[in-house]
C-alpha cells in the first residue's frame, strides 16, 4: 500500500509520516518513507520550483511509490503534491494508492513556520499556496483538517482509515 500524505508546507506530512513508518515497522511490516526533499537531494537538486520542475519531481516520486507498492513495501510518501492531474496519474498507476490530504490554513503555517520555508522565501520566490498554484483535492481518500486536532488525533485518523480499508493487522 501507498499512504500519500499531501498538503502545503507545514501541514505535518513528514511528522505524521515518520509516526506511521515507526508504527508499521514496529508491527513487522516492510515500510519506507519517501520525502519529496529526499528525491530532490538524490538528483543533486537539479530541479527548481517552477510548475514544470515540481511536475518532474513528482513524477520521480510517483515512480518510487509505484516500485514500493509493487514490492509489497508500505510506502509513506510525504509531498506537497499541488497538481490534481498528477494525483490522478498516481491513483491510476499505483494499485495501493491512498491519498490523504492534510488540510492546513496557510496563515497558521506562516505563523508556525516549522522549517523556515515561509520566512526564507516570502517576497523572494513563489510558494505553493502563495503565488504558486495548489489544486484543492477533488477525490482524496481522507481529508484531515489538521488545525482542528492534535497530531495524535490526526495520526489516529490515518490508522483508523487504513485499518478500515485493509483490515486486521493494520490497527493497534
First to last CA, the chain: 18
Catalytic residue among 9, 81, 109, 154: 81
Q: Residue length, the chain?
A: 172
Domains of the chain: 2-166 (3.40.50.300)
Tell me: the pLDDT tens digits for 62-119? 999 999 999 999 999 999 999 999 999 999 999 999 999 999 876 666 676 676 665 6
81 is known as an active-site residue: yes
pLDDT at residue 130 is higher than 80: no
pLDDT at residue 140 is higher than 90: yes
Segments in the chain forming alpha helices (H): 13-26, 36-42, 51-70, 84-93, 106-112, 117-121, 151-166
pTM exceeds 0.85 for this model? yes
In whole numbers, what is the pLDDT of the chain averaged over residues?
A: 89
Q: Which of 44, 46, 63 is nearest to 54 (CA)?
A: 46
Question: 117 versus 52: which is more confidently predicted?
Answer: 52
Amino acid at each position: 500500500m501507498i499512504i500519500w500524505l499531501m498538503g502545503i508546507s507545514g501541514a505535518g506530512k513528514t511528522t505524521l509520516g515518520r509516526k506511521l513508518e515507526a508504527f508499521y515497522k514496529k508491527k513487522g511490516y516492510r515500510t519506507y518513507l519517501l520525502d519529496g526533499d529526499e528525491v530532490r537531494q538524490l538528483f543533486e537538486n537539479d530541479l527548481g520550483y517552477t510548475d514544470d520542475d515540481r511536475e518532474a519531481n513528482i513524477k520521480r516520486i510517483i515512480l518510487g511509490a509505484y516500485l514500493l507498492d509493487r514490492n509489497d513495501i508500505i510506502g509513506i510518501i510525504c509531498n506537497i503534491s499541488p497538481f490534481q492531474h498528477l494525483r490522478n496519474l498516481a491513483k491510476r498507476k499505483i494499485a495501493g494508492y491512498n491519498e490523504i490530504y492534510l488540510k492546513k490554513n496557510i496563515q497558521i503555517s506562516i505563523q508556525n513556520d516549522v522549517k523556515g520555508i515561509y520566512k526564507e522565501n516570502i517576497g523572494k520566490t513563489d510558494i505553493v499556496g502563495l503565488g504558486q498554484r495548489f489544486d484543492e483535492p477533488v477525490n482524496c481518500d481522507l481529508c484531515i483538517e489538521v488545525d482542528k486536532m492534535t497530531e495524535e488525533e490526526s495520526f489516529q485518523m490515518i490508522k483508523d482509515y487504513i485499518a478500515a480499508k485493509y483490515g486486521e493487522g493494520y490497527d493497534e
